[in-house]
Amino acid sequence: MTERERIEALLNRKKPDRIPIWPFAAHGFAVIYDNLSLADAYTNPEACYHAQRRMCRDFGWVFIPWIGYASMGAWEFGGDIRLPSGEYDQAPMVTRYPIEKDDDVYNLKWPGPDSGFFPVARKFAELARKERLDNEPFNASISSGAGFGLACNIVGLDRFLKWLIKKPGLAHYLINTLSEWGLERLSQQAKSLGTDGVLGFSGGATSSNYLISPRQFEEFVLPSLKSGEKELRALGYRTTYVHICGEHNANLPYWSQIDFGDPGIIGVGHEVKLKTAAKYFPNDIILGNLEPAIVQTGTPEEVYEATREVVEEGKQLSNGYIFSTGCDLPPRAPVENVRMMTKAVNDFGWYE
């Protein structure tokens, strides 16, 4: 089977010949692997696209073109970011948040189509849509937009987290405004992208239990996630890949109330066991969850062994399973470690 056929089999609830490999957010690693700078992953759509395409071919991975970064929103809504340039940088960093005073929330202007990162993302999508390869089950993605994560990105995390208790009305107002904007953007993107070969995307690092309580998740995060996914389904997108980033064990009862498609693809970090995810999402495909730090700091033998353990667990799931790192593939991970990660899935990932 080709990589594309393996994913399509899973989407049709059939068992593929082996576990497919789809490392999440590998665009940073791709540009470094291609001898480019990390900034190219965020400024140079052609380079970012071709680097991912080459990387996926070289390693025998599923190719789903991907561009973006966790703190998106700040620049687009009028703040400032700094592109990664130093030896230890990983992704664009916010240097000024667009909401500086509480009242700014009520005067928030929706970004235009050429704000911030949008032109780069648009050019990337245009390029990606031109072709669909035999390792490419989807060649574009569309974000359902989540109000909570975006609010953290444009207010600043610690300030916004305090609002949840001290100014819940203001927090709700901002989340609702951003959700409304997200739905509007979703509908515009849907018109230009269509639905064929397009994967829905959702995710949340700032809503993890490292930061907020399950009760706060239910109140401030869940409603906008639900409405975004509902809109994706209404627009005809069959499947969403959701990246449930970090420690979310206590939030899983809420995540599982959301319709991520038929089936959805549920990506979890190493903090959530694959079988736990499978229990909460019995009708969805599970993706994950090798600890990224191991790929960065482990020896090749340690990476191989850690990957084998993840693959053996994933293979037991009746839902269908895709191998991935639990979060971004570290951009500066040693190539030998990435080879050993791949080798372990190739060695142990075949079904009987």
Partner 1 sequence: MATEEEIQKLLKGLHDAVVNMDEVAAQELSQVVLEKDVSAYLAVTQGLASGMNTVGDLYARQEYFVPEVLLCSDALCAGLEVLRPHIKVSGVEKKRQIVIGTVEGDIHDIGKNLVKIMFEAAGWTVHDLGRDVQLHRFVEEQAKTGSDVVALSALMTTSMMAMPKVIEMLRAENSDVAVMVGGAPLSRDIARSYGADGYADNAGEAVHEAVKMLEKLNR
Q: Rule CB under 8 A: is residue 158 a binding residue for partner 1?
A: yes
Least distance from partner 1 to the Cβ atom of residue 99, Å: 17
Using CB under 8 A, pick the residue from 210, 275, 335, 336 that binds partner 1. 210
Least distance from partner 1 to the Cβ atom of residue 82, Å: 9
Q: Rule CB under 8 A: is residue 89 a binding residue for partner 1?
A: yes
Q: Say if residues 127 and 49 touch (Cβ distance below 8 Å).
A: yes
Q: Rule CB under 8 A: is residue 246 a binding residue for partner 1?
A: yes
Q: Rule CB under 8 A: is residue 249 a binding residue for partner 1?
A: no
Q: Rule CB under 8 A: is residue 275 a binding residue for partner 1?
A: no
Nearer to partner 1, 256 or 297 (CB): 297
| Candidate segments 42-50, 99-107, 128-136, 327-335, binder of partner 1 by CB under 8 A | 327-335
Least distance from partner 1 to the Cβ atom of residue 158, Å: 5
Q: Rule CB under 8 A: is residue 264 a binding residue for partner 1?
A: no
Q: Say if residues 288 and 269 touch (Cβ distance below 8 Å).
A: yes
Burial class (CB in 10 A: 0-12, 13-18, 19+), 12: exposed
Least distance from partner 1 to the Cβ atom of residue 256, Å: 20
Nearer to partner 1, 7 or 146 (CB): 146
Q: Rule CB under 8 A: is residue 212 a binding residue for partner 1?
A: yes
Using CB under 8 A, pick the residue from 90, 115, 195, 346 that binds partner 1. 90
Least distance from partner 1 to the Cβ atom of residue 197, Å: 31
Using CB under 8 A, pick the residue from 13, 162, 275, 279 that binds partner 1. 162
Least distance from partner 1 to the Cβ atom of residue 41, Å: 12
Round the CA-based radius of gyration of the chain to a whole number and report it: 19
Least distance from partner 1 to the Cβ atom of residue 235, Å: 34
Using CB under 8 A, pick the residue from 176, 177, 296, 346 that binds partner 1. 296
Minimal CA–CA distance to 94: which of 177, 152, 33?
A: 152
Q: Say if residues 201 and 141 touch (Cβ distance below 8 Å).
A: yes
Of residues 164-183, those binding partner 1 (CB under 8 A)? 164-166
Least distance from partner 1 to the Cβ atom of residue 349, Å: 24
Using CB under 8 A, pick the residue from 36, 39, 83, 93 that binds partner 1. 93
Nearer to partner 1, 127 or 290 (CB): 290
Q: Rule CB under 8 A: is residue 47 a binding residue for partner 1?
A: no
Q: Applying CB under 8 A, which residues contact partner 1?
A: 84, 86-91, 93-94, 157-158, 161-162, 164-166, 209-213, 216, 246, 250, 292-293, 296-297, 328, 330-333
